[in-house]
């Protein structure tokens, strides 16, 4: 198993890509710490792991709140003593809103989850990784981190920021034993995209939406030792959306 004896913290873990990663990481031998604001979703995930007799800790956390994040990380470390992997997956959309249709509340909410949340979670776990001289961080970006049209003004701005932060973290901490990369999904079948027109994928080289499990497979690779020579990269998994 590729993640045997590792402890993985996954944000946005109760649904979609986060949930798929939690299940896939556990299948590869990892203990799972799940952060999410969805209490019912966390309970469903906990019930799933209880049936498998897997090590699992679900914590209701607003990742845009520094105090909640710090408290949750402390609880996680009390339970598992270490955190080896972070998958910063939690994110929200902006309804493809143009700048003129984006009020300050929407702008702030998207930035607070999509980029501030990554900052807070990573900063809270970083001392443990630095102490252990090892760790892996996988950030979920988006094709909106490379092109326009994958979201609105706020969403696209945050995902460009995720790509940039991924590079900077890899640069700052690579020689201290911490590997950092990101994944840029295209249209993926999740509850977050259920209101998005699926015909957007009709003209892709692979003309279908992606599945959350495909993101999880790539995340396992990036979290494992197989990808140790890949640093600071954001890997697109978009059915060829960005080939033109």
> Which pLDDT band holds residue 39 (cuts at 50, 70, 90)?
very high
What residues contact residue 68 under an 8 Å CB cut-off, 6+ apart?
61, 62
- Residue 204: what pLDDT? 85
Residues marked as catalytic:
155
pTM for the model stands at: 0.95
- Residue 35: what pLDDT? 99
List alpha helices for the chain, DSSP H.
16-27, 39-52, 66-80, 104-111, 117-132, 153-173, 212-223
Render pLDDT for 163-193 as a digit per residue (tens, 0 to 9): 999 999 999 999 999 999 999 999 998 877 7
> Which pLDDT band holds residue 51 (cuts at 50, 70, 90)?
confident
> Which pLDDT band holds residue 103 (cuts at 50, 70, 90)?
very high
């Amino acid at each position: 198993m590729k993640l045997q004896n590792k402890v993985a913290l996954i944000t946005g873990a109760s649904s979609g890509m986060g949930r798929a990663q939690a299940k896939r990481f556990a299948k590869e031998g990892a203990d799972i710490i799940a952060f999410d604001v969805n209490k019912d979703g966390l309970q469903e995930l906990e019930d799933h792991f209880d049936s498998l007799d897997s090590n699992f800790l679900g914590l209701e956390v607003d990742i845009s709140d520094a105090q909640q994040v710090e408290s949750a990380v402390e609880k996680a470390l009390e339970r598992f003593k270490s955190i080896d992997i972070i998958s910063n997956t939690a994110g929200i959309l902006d309804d493809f809103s143009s700048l003129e249709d984006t009020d300050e509340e929407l702008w702030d909410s998207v930035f607070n989850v999509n980029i501030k949340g990554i900052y807070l979670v990573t900063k809270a776990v970083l001392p443990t990784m630095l102490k252990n001289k090892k760790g892996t961080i996988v950030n979920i970006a988006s094709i909106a981190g490379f092109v326009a049209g994958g979201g609105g003004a706020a969403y696209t701005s945050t995902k460009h920021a995720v790509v940039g932060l991924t590079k900077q973290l890899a640069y700052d901490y690579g020689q201290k034993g911490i590997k950092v990369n990101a994944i840029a999904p295209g249209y993926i079948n999740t509850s977050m995209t259920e209101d998005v027109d699926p015909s957007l994928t009709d003209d892709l080289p692979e003309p279908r939406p992606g599945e959350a499990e495909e993101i999880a497979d790539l995340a396992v690779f990036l979290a494992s030792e197989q990808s140790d020579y890949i640093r600071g990269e954001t890997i697109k998994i978009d059915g060829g959306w960005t080939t033109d």
